[in-house]
């Protein structure tokens, strides 16, 4: 139960050739079981991104075509009921629909949740579907889009208020607990560490230009980040084809997410606000998970570590930069390799909690077959410095009753 990360989305598409490589399916295989996926035929939904050229910078575009039908297996009940784009509140309340006015998340929910059996199969929210399935174990990783979508489109007013997040997340775990299932949750990664965003330090290393020169040419600050569609304009500015600074808006690289232009730059202050909000979300995830007897996988810490140190496979250093081996062509969702690393983190936590000895997925073998592995540059040196994160987060405890905080500590 989750969003696009749990659904196995890559290259901004829910697609049958990609879904089996998601962390949840890899994890199920390593645990000796399986998940039924809501398999979507080519070209996927939305149409899968394909690499058109590498020079002078990577260019991607959606594959042509339209879905011949919504699912390969419309009569099968999915047990991976993760819906791309879904937020915590939508997990509780969004009803699947194909009506254009309902929006893309509702249509993805329809594909995932509403097809099995007869045409009058009742439309259920994601949480209702999870309850009806009477699970023995639930992987529940929701909350990423509460921060990710506002960051991608450049509208931080869309961030889910912390109080609402707290109430919604508690309601989800309350309902899942009543099923009697074991519950495994996960924290939300730092959104600024995905390949969709490039820090000034990363750009400096790649372009071979000091940060001070970049900020002067581009009209940015050293703590700012560039969104994916700003990179072609940056290239033109640095090569003297276009005068700086960067414009305020750049084309959207993800049409299904928003057709409107997005800010070229994620300002340092906005990046700090995102981190602060995510830290609050994660405090609530850990707290509610503890109170409900769930175990929590710290995906935030995992991504932080990889962002700072990279991930070595067969003496090749994979990084979180674009086409660095860990993120797919959308710069947001992992590659086969990235998903396998996440699955192994879940396995570590499960083994530690339950005393089991499940084996890791073979990341080296998966990387060797990864369709995007051939584009990864040979990297062995140190990564660029990581921008300092803000200090202690203030205000998170004010949204949680003191009695609850006290109970969790006891």
What is the Cα–Cα distance from 9 to 27, expressed in whole angstroms?
15
| Residue 251 shares a structural domain with residue 332 | no
Select from 299, 21, 338 the least CA-distant residue to 142. Answer: 299
pTM reported for the whole predicted model: 0.94
The secondary structure of 226-246, three-state, reads EEHHHHHHHHHHHCCCCCCCC
pLDDT number for residue 159: 97
pLDDT number for residue 384: 62
**Beta strand 182-186 pairing with 295-297:** parallel
CB atoms within 10 A of CB 83: 32
What does DSSP assign to residue 133?
Answer: T
Pick 355 or 57 by higher pLDDT: 355
| Residue 257 shares a structural domain with residue 344 | no
What is the Cα–Cα distance from 257 to 245, expressed in whole angstroms?
26
| Residue 183 shares a structural domain with residue 229 | no
Residue 257 banded pLDDT, cuts 50, 70, 90: confident
What's the average model confidence in pLDDT over 352-361?
97
| Residue 232 shares a structural domain with residue 172 | no
Residue with tokens 């035929």: 41
Backbone φ, ψ for residue 60 (5° rounding): -125, 160
| Residue 151 shares a structural domain with residue 226 | no
Q: Which domain holds residue 163?
A: 4-197+274-409
Residue with tokens 């820090």: 199
Instruction: List, in sequence order, the alpha helices (H) in 42-143.
Output: 88-93, 104-113, 126-132
CB 23 within 8 A of CB 67: no
As given in the structure block, the two tokens for residue 309 are 């140190």
Q: What's the number of domains the chain is made of?
A: 2
- Which one of 209, 231, 262 terminates a domain? 262
pLDDT number for residue 37: 98
| Residue 337 shares a structural domain with residue 352 | yes
| Residue 99 shares a structural domain with residue 240 | no
Residue 55 banded pLDDT, cuts 50, 70, 90: confident
**H or E stretch including 354?**
helix 336-354
> For residue 134, what are the CA distances in angstroms to 108, 140, 180?
23, 14, 8
Burial class (CB in 10 A: 0-12, 13-18, 19+), 384: middle
Residue 381 banded pLDDT, cuts 50, 70, 90: low
pLDDT number for residue 142: 98
Residue with tokens 């699912």: 71
Instruction: List, in sequence order, the alpha helices (H) in 178-298.
Output: 200-207, 211-218, 231-238, 268-291
Residue 267 lies in a domain: no
Select from 305, 333, 313 the least CA-distant residue to 152. Answer: 333
- Which one of 211, 228, 262 terminates a domain? 262
Q: Which residue pairs, CB below 8 angstroms and at least 24 apart, start in 319-322?
A: 319/379, 319/383, 320/193, 320/194, 320/195, 321/195, 321/198, 321/202, 321/206, 322/58, 322/195, 322/198, 322/228, 322/231
pLDDT number for residue 259: 86
pLDDT number for residue 263: 97
pLDDT number for residue 403: 47
**Beta strand 137-140 pairing with 59-62:** unpaired
For the ranges 58-72, 273-287, 387-401, which has the lowest average pLDDT? 387-401
| Residue 348 shares a structural domain with residue 214 | no
What does DSSP assign to residue 385?
Answer: P
């Amino acid at each position: 139960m989750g969003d696009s990360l749990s659904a196995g989305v890559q290259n901004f598409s829910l697609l049958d050739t990609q879904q089996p490589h998601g962390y949840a399916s890899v994890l199920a295989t390593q645990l000796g079981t399986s998940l039924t996926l809501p398999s979507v035929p080519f070209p996927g939904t939305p149409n899968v991104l394909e690499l058109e050229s590498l020079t002078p910078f990577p260019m991607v575009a959606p594959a042509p075509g339209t879905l011949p039908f919504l699912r390969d297996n419309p009569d099968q009940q999915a047990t991976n009921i993760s819906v791309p784009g879904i937020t915590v509140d939508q997990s509780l309340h969004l009803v699947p629909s194909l009506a254009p006015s309902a929006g893309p998340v509702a249509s993805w929910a329809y594909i995932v949740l509403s097809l099995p059996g007869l045409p009058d199969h009742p439309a259920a929210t994601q949480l209702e579907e999870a309850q009806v399935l009477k699970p023995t174990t639930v992987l529940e990783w929701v909350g990423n889009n509460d921060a990710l979508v506002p960051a991608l489109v450049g509208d931080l007013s869309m961030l889910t208020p912390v109080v609402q997040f707290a109430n919604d997340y508690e309601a989800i775990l309350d309902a899942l607990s009543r099923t009697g299932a074991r519950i495994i949750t996960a924290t939300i990664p730092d959104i600024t560490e995905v390949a969709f965003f490039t820090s000034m330090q990363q750009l400096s290393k790649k372009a071979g230009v000091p940060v001070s020169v970049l900020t002067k040419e581009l009209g940015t600050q050293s703590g700012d980040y560039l969104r994916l569609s700003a990179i072609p304009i940056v290239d033109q500015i640095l090569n003297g084809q276009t005068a700086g600074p960067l414009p305020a808006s750049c084309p959207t690289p993800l049409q299904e997410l928003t057709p409107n232009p997005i800010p070229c730059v994620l300002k340092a202050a906005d990046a700090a606000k995102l981190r602060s909000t995510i830290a609050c979300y994660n405090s609530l995830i850990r707290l509610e998970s503890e109170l409900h007897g769930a175990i929590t996988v710290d995906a935030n810490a995992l991504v932080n570590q990889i962002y700072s140190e990279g991930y070595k496979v067969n003496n090749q250093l994979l990084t979180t930069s674009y086409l660095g081996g860990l993120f797919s062509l959308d710069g947001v969702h992992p590659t086969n390799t990235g998903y396998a690393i996440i699955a192994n983190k879940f396995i570590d936590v499960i083994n530690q909690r339950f005393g089991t000895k499940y084996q890791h997925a073979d990341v080296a073998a998966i990387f060797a077959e990864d369709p995007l592995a051939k584009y990864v540059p040979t990297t062995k040196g140190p990564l660029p410095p990581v921008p300092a994160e803000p200090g202690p987060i203030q205000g998170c405890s004010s949204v949680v009753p003191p009695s609850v905080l006290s109970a969790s500590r006891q």
